[in-house]
Amino acid sequence: MLLPKLAKNGSFLRFVILYVCLFIVFLPNFILTDNLKYSLAKNSQLNSPEKLKAVERRPRRRQFYYELIDKELRDYREEEDDEDDLTEEEIKNFKRRKMKSSRSGREAFGHSEYLLPENFRSLHRKDIPVTYRLHDDLLRYYRKGTRPVTHPSKIINVSMSVFLYQIIKLDAVKNTISLSGSFEMYWQDEFLQWEPDTYEGATEIFLASTDIWIPEFSLYYSVNFNDAVKLQSNNDVRVNFTGHVRYWIPFSTESLCSMDVKFFPFDIQRCTLLLGSWAHSNDSIKYSLYSKNLSLIDFYDNQEWQLDLKESHITSDGFLYDYLDPPLFWEMIVIDLVVSRQRFYYVFNLVIPSAMITFVAVVGFHTPSSSGKNRHEAN
């Protein structure tokens, strides 16, 4: 009795049509397997315009290389006295060798478009630019995490020069000194050596500092923890064919400095900066001074503090840590800076006005109180 009523009202028919539509929509998800879905999706990607264009370009590029190799083969045959001397096996080896050199040349530049038709001459390794070949040969088996020495007992001598640019400020409350400058470091890397004749007379090359070993160099007693851990920059390094490495590090740092302002504004402050390695002792890395004088070529004067050139100096010193087992000796660079406060500003704006006010107050205090009464009577 219920079905005829539903059919008569039309609700049953709409109910059946709805279920049929839902069944048609969700049927492929129940019937198709995962492999079939993957194959359909893959075919749809292959049929995209970008994929079709890439597939069309690939045979043309391959055909281009085949034509070039055939041309070189004809030229090679013309150079021979008898063109029948080449057997089928020799021809196959010739083509295989050419195709291998073409792939190595393209891979050296990181993309397949490196050999353009207008720039094509041959597919030998010698046609790769000398800087690319030298860079690839030097860093192919290089390990920047280990010291560049052939024997673990060898000591790396690191020479350095210190350039001071500016004393930014001295903070008496925090007992700190802020300054900027740069370091130049020199050392010998035994794994970065080559024969210039092999690379068309190239005697120098610039390498990224992130690709080679860099001496660990830190500023002790630094306020900023990042400066205390390591001083490094992203600048390139200059490498000579003998393995001589030159590295330039700019810095702007804040270091601890014990200040005494008892004689302000006639005070003189002495700050000592220690630089060296946290991990490597003197038996692995030894720091020394390339120039024993503090370079002030690009120094900018501070309006409040004046650097004492006679008392300021830089030395190379070491400290023995005898509490270690075994005792170790650490080589460090010691920079002693002696600065005096610029007195004129404070004398003219603070000392003289204060002295005048004090003098007037003292004179007024000793003036007789009757002097004012006599002046009124005279009037």
List pLDDT tens digits, range 275-299. Answer: 888 778 777 888 888 877 788 888 8
Instruction: For residue 127, give Cα distances in angstroms to 120, 132, 140, 325.
Output: 9, 10, 19, 56
Q: What is the mean pLDDT of residues 42-61?
A: 51
Confidence at residue 72, expressed as pLDDT on a 0 to 100 scale: 63
The answer to whether residue 244 scores a pLDDT higher than 90 is: yes
Domains in the chain: boundaries: 2-31, 49-128, 156-347
Please, is 312 exposed, middle or buried when counting C-beta atoms within 10 Å of its C-beta (0-12, 13-18, 19+)? middle
Q: What is the mean pLDDT of residues 68-81?
A: 60
CA 220 to mean position of chain CA atoms:
21
Helix (H), strand (E) at residue 249: strand 244-256
Quick check: 141 and 171 in contact, CB under 8 A? no
Instruction: For residue 91, give Cα distances in angstroms to 8, 87, 258, 314, 324.
Output: 87, 6, 81, 70, 70
First-to-final CA distance of the chain: 136
Report the share of the chain in percent with pLDDT over 90: 12
Q: How confident is the model at residue 97 (pLDDT cuts 50, 70, 90)?
A: low
The answer to which of 156-170, 171-185, 186-200, 323-337 has the lowest mean pLDDT is: 323-337
Pinpoint the alpha helices (H) of 170-235. 225-229
The answer to which of 1-15, 31-45, 56-70, 354-368 has the lowest mean pLDDT is: 31-45
Report, at the CATH architecture level, how domain 156-347 is classified: Distorted Sandwich (2.70)
Helix (H), strand (E) at residue 204: strand 204-208
Dihedral of CA atoms 225, 226, 232, 233 in degrees, nearest 10, equals -140
Q: Distance (Å, rounded) from C-alpha 329 to C-alpha 219?
A: 17
The answer to whether residue 263 scores a pLDDT higher than 80 is: yes
Tokens matching residue 157: 């001598």
Q: How confident is the model at residue 196 (pLDDT cuts 50, 70, 90)?
A: very high
Confidence at residue 73, expressed as pLDDT on a 0 to 100 scale: 62
Confidence at residue 191, expressed as pLDDT on a 0 to 100 scale: 92
Q: Distance (Å, rounded) from C-alpha 229 to C-alpha 68?
A: 56
Q: Distance (Å, rounded) from C-alpha 9 to C-alpha 87?
A: 91
Q: Distance (Å, rounded) from C-alpha 133 to C-alpha 215?
A: 26
The answer to whether residue 51 scores a pLDDT higher than 70 is: no
